Amino acid sequence: MVATPVRTPAEQALAARYPAERTSLPGTADVIAIRDAAFGGVEKSGLPHRRVEDWKYTDLRARLKTFPPAAGPGDVARVLIAAPAVEGDKARRLVIANGRYRPELSDLEDLEPGLSIFSLATALEAGDATVLAALKLDDAVASNTAVALNTAFMTDGLVIDVAEGAEVGRPVELVHIAEGEPAASTAVRHLVTVGKAARLTLIETIESLDTVAHHSNVMTVLEVGEGAKVDHIRLQLEPDEAVSLTTLVARIGREANFDTFNAALGAGLARAQIFAEFAGRDAQAGFRGITMLSGRRHADTTLSLIHGAENCQSRELYKAVIDDEARSVFAGRIAVPAHAQKTDARMMTASLLLSEEAEADAKPELEIFADDVQCGHGATCGAIDEDLLFYLLSRGIPKVEAESMLILAFLGEAIDEIQNQAVHDALIHRVEGWLKARAA
Amino acid sequence: MAAVKETVDQVLSIDVDKYKYGFVSDIESELAPKGLNEDIVRFISAKKDEPEWLTEWRLEALRRWQTMEEPTWARVEYPPIDFQDLHYYAAPKKTAGPKSLDEVDPALLDTYKKLGIPLKEQEILAGVERGERPVAVDAVFDSVSVVTTFKAELAKHGVIFCPISEAVKTHPELVKKYLGSVVPVTDNFYATLNSAVFSDGSFVYVPKGVRCPMELSTYFRINEKKTGQFERTLIIADEGAYVSYLEGCTAPSRDENQLHAAVVELIALDDAEIKYSTVQNWYPGDSEGKGGVFNFVTKRGDCRGKNSKISWTQVETGSAITWKYPSCILRGDNSRGEFYSIAISNGRQQVDSGTKMVHLGKNTSSKIISKGISAGRSNNTYRGLVSVGRKASGARNFTNCDSLLIGNRCGAHTVPYIESKNASAIVEHEATTSKISDDQLFYCLQRGLPEEEAIALIVNGFVKDVLQQLPMEFMVETQKLIGISLEGSVG
């Protein structure tokens, strides 16, 4: 029984767009071949639906109503005056407006020694061998629908290299801005390589200047070298109308130290995917994030971590606050192959439901083949603790304020792990703003 | 500790071969021709002298099954099953309605004697004098029930305990009302197959307010080769009733795989309680993974009434492949579901088991304690769902699943699904995977315990939560089983 899939409007739009755009997208014939293969996979299977295990709780076929056309260049003047998402972090801002890297809007002065930044589009046009090699992904990652769509439609992005031993003092901030009407879609790919014993703080912000149904697809491929220390933070801040797909692919080298934090604060439909792998022994990594949802928003965090080397340690902590009719999804999978002895992993997810109509789904999965390991996972889901609330009320604190305090404390456990003070403060500020709006 | 590990492997590899129930009884059987089609279903139905409605029910299931595809989502691998190369009915020849035990084929009685299952009531009563409690037993051999003990004693209390094939004739109204009401005919591939060809199993009805005076037990035995056993069990506890039911199973060691696709339905009405315990010890195959029983089972309990309770306890040590998720549908307000499981896998066994707790009623609560132990080259997966519906205010779930790995050629996996649609519900899940802690072991060793004993002690502590839930009859056997499975596993 091979059923002919009924094509949704979004699938039809995709099928019409790709043939029309494939040759005008940046890249040599080799790049077109890679794009063709990626799109072929999506076209064959269609958009994933709830029967596809990886998308069980985020039915893309049902939820994607349309797939808008590619974004135009956008109004540079408006992008120029947009307020930065994070104040006072002294970051080196690199602007990607409507899927295009804008060096003229970016801060490229006094690049630290060992730090190099150039455009992906240029590299694709030149057929740069290193960049082409970096487009190759493991099958499991490459076949993922969000990744495949990114490969097929990517217009630009940044290729960032931090040389061996280089310490990049200023954080590098990738500022993604969507500008203009009507709704459009963008696909951006970044390739970041951090050399042996180098240091980098990488911040990504994704926002939109207009409240229309922009689709953004941002993917970052990160190579963390031996003994390197990398801090990665992503703030996803789009308006409720938007659709936001993000992917992080991280390979963590021997003795490296890696942290990633995802703040899902925006978009009506958001999915943050992380595919991480320990490629060398004795490394450490932290995977954390918060999700704040209201209205009818839907946010999905999907983490796949391969603990592929001996004696690596990881900590996963994801917290979600869900109000109104919103729905939060967490799917985490830790795989420990037989040779990865002495693995130590702790995965925790907690959801706070603030309304009768809210929904939380969690699937914290462990797959273990090594016997000398410590792996644990926990999941909780519930309302605000009555006893804690009562304690605060009995101290004369109004209910709404008491609730806000408890929610902030709940999320704070994850947020406090962010080492960059400016980002930490900016995030707390946004959480407080969200709580104020809720209380009003 | 490479050398020691080798010893471990050696001992563990002997382990699956230690299966002591692997003998074949030489009993003449009557077999249905191989294959599955409408004629076979009619043949089975006719053999059991079933009413027309049941034959139709089976045929409808068959037609449905023919359009279904085998599920592949579980973490198990096996060669494709040729469903047309199996006998769907096998029965010992001389069993046509024995009036008493004296008429039962002595070879059959011998088989059960060897298995240690008491079928003679006197023997069991003698047991009482030795301080053991009597257990009523329904013995199912391949496709038919050969004997059910203590029927008269149970009838005094109004408890109906008989083979389901007999219940169809004696209590058609009850069977018709409840059969397929928990696991619908169309539920899943194996449940539908079972509905088409189910052979025998137990039927239990405990009337209002009755506390069943003794443990009820069914003992399943697959003997014939190239057969599938399709057990169907239906247990109904009417308002305020209580019943505890035990199930045991074994099969001979054969090179080819045998199929066991059972459906068990439990129904608890207002204030009723059902306790269902299983010691599953089907033939696990040899150390190379040859042979063994494919155990594809659908077990589900429906807490239909208020304040009802269903509790599943399982000890899984056998079967080449286990695919089994005893579940509770918590429909009635304040109803409670429990799932206690120990799954031990060894050799090349594959276990994919867990539970589903579906909270629909208000103030429903559930508890899941699952302990998986993997050794050899086995794979042991816990797969579970906790779902809280919109209306299930005040629902409460606690889940704890731990895995223990012995050796590094086995796998332990945890796949929990948590879905909450109600803010006042509290769902907690915790899971750990580890090896026996060096500290614990060291503590025992420095108290003078030999290493093997220390490991057994730690493992017994690890599974204690579940063992305590088992009826006494099973506790002793299970503790022994765990002993066997872990003998020599120093490392």
pLDDT at B391: 92
Mean pLDDT is lowest, of A358-362, B108-112, B354-358, for B108-112
The yes-or-no verdict on residue B128 having pLDDT over 50 is no
Residue A415: which H helix or E strand, with range?
helix A399-415
pLDDT at B479: 65
Beta bridge pairs of residue B380: B351, B412
Q: Which chain A residues touch B417 with a CB distance below 8 Å?
A: 361-363
Asked if the Cβ–Cβ distance from B422 to A356 is below 8 Å, we say yes
Mean of pLDDT over chain A = 93
Q: Which tens digit of pLDDT belongs to each residue from B65-92?
A: 999 988 888 888 888 888 888 888 887 7
C-alpha angle with apex A75: A71 to A81, nearest 5 degrees?
125
**B458 vs B471: which has the higher pLDDT:** B458
Mean pLDDT is lowest, of A77-86, B6-15, B416-425, B466-475, for B6-15
Token output for A77: 């003047």
**Predicted structure pTM score:** 0.87
- Does ipTM come in above 0.90? no
Q: Which chain B residues touch A354 with a CB distance below 8 Å?
A: 423
pLDDT at B477: 62
The yes-or-no verdict on residue A237 having pLDDT over 50 is yes
Mean of pLDDT over chain B = 81
B433 touching chain A per CB within 8 A: yes
In the block, which residue shows the tokens 């956008």? A74
Mean pLDDT in residue range A125-150:
94
pLDDT at B144: 67
Q: Which of A51, A381, A403 to mutate to test the interface with B (most CBs of B within 10 A)?
A: A381
Q: Which tens digit of pLDDT belongs to each residue from A328-354?
A: 999 999 999 999 999 999 999 999 999
Q: Which tens digit of pLDDT belongs to each residue from A279-310?
A: 999 999 999 999 999 999 999 999 999 999 99
A291 Cα distance to chain centroid? 12
Asked if the Cβ–Cβ distance from A379 to B428 is below 8 Å, we say yes
Q: How close is the nearest chain B Cα to the Cα of A308, in Å?
A: 14
Q: Which of A341, A358, A367 sits opposite B413 (nearest CB)?
A: A367
Q: Which of A356, A369, A373 sits opposite B423 (nearest CB)?
A: A356
Beta bridge pairs of residue B244: B275
Residue B455: which H helix or E strand, with range?
helix B451-462
Mean pLDDT is lowest, of A326-330, A436-440, B372-376, for B372-376
Burial (CB < 10 A; 0-12, 13-18, 19+), residue A421, is: exposed
Q: Which of A338, A365, A371 sits opposite B406 (nearest CB)?
A: A371
Residue B379: which H helix or E strand, with range?
strand B379-388
Q: Are B246 and B312 in contact (CB under 8 A)?
A: no
Q: Are B389 and B359 in contact (CB under 8 A)?
A: yes
The yes-or-no verdict on residue B13 having pLDDT over 50 is no
Q: Which tens digit of pLDDT belongs to each residue from B274-329?
A: 999 888 878 887 777 788 888 899 999 999 999 999 999 888 888 888 999 999 99
Mean pLDDT in residue range B215-226:
78
Q: Which chain A residues touch B486 with a CB distance below 8 Å?
A: none
Mean pLDDT in residue range A190-215:
95
Q: Which tens digit of pLDDT belongs to each residue from A395-409?
A: 999 999 999 999 999
Mean pLDDT is lowest, of A115-119, B48-52, B384-388, for B48-52
Q: What are the Cα distances from residue B347, in Å, to A200, B23, B294, B477?
A: 48, 19, 15, 21
Per DSSP, the residues of A161-205 read: EE-TT-B--SPEEEEEEE--SS--EEEEEEEEEE-TT-EEEEEEE
Rounded Cα distance between B207 and B437, Å, is: 49
Rounded Cα distance between A294 and B373, Å, is: 42
B70 touching chain A per CB within 8 A: no
pLDDT at B73: 84
Mean pLDDT is lowest, of A50-59, A87-96, B305-314, for A87-96
Token output for B391: 């209306």
Beta bridge pairs of residue B316: B280, B343
Mean pLDDT in residue range B194-206:
89
B422 touching chain A per CB within 8 A: yes
Q: What are the Cα distances from residue B392, in Å, to A224, B337, B399?
A: 46, 14, 18
Q: Which chain B residues touch A359 with a CB distance below 8 Å?
A: 419-421
Every domain of chain B and the residues it spans:
133-486
pLDDT at A111: 93
pLDDT at B48: 85
Every domain of chain A and the residues it spans:
9-280, 384-440
Residue B478 binned pLDDT confidence (cut-offs 50, 70, 90): low
Q: Which residues contact B96 (CB under 8 A, 6 or more apart)?
A: none
Q: Which of A355, A356, A376 sits opposite B431 (nearest CB)?
A: A376
B430 touching chain A per CB within 8 A: yes
Q: Which chain A residues touch B426 with a CB distance below 8 Å?
A: 380-383
The yes-or-no verdict on residue B125 having pLDDT over 50 is no
Burial (CB < 10 A; 0-12, 13-18, 19+), residue B232, is: buried
Beta bridge pairs of residue B336: B309, B365
Mean pLDDT is lowest, of A47-61, A85-99, A108-122, A137-151, for A85-99
Rounded Cα distance between B224 and B306, Å, is: 44
Q: Where are the beta strands (DSSP E) in A179-283?
A: 185-194, 199-208, 215-224, 229-236, 243-252, 257-264, 269-278
Q: Which of A1, A354, A364 sits opposite B416 (nearest CB)?
A: A364
Q: Which of B406, B410, B434 sits opposite A374 (nearest CB)?
A: B434
Token output for A200: 């980098």
Mean pLDDT in residue range A162-176:
95
SS3 assignment, position B224: coil
pLDDT at B129: 38
pLDDT at B108: 67
Mean pLDDT in residue range B129-150:
64
pLDDT at B100: 57
Asked if the Cβ–Cβ distance from B423 to A355 is below 8 Å, we say yes
pLDDT at B35: 84
B429 touching chain A per CB within 8 A: yes
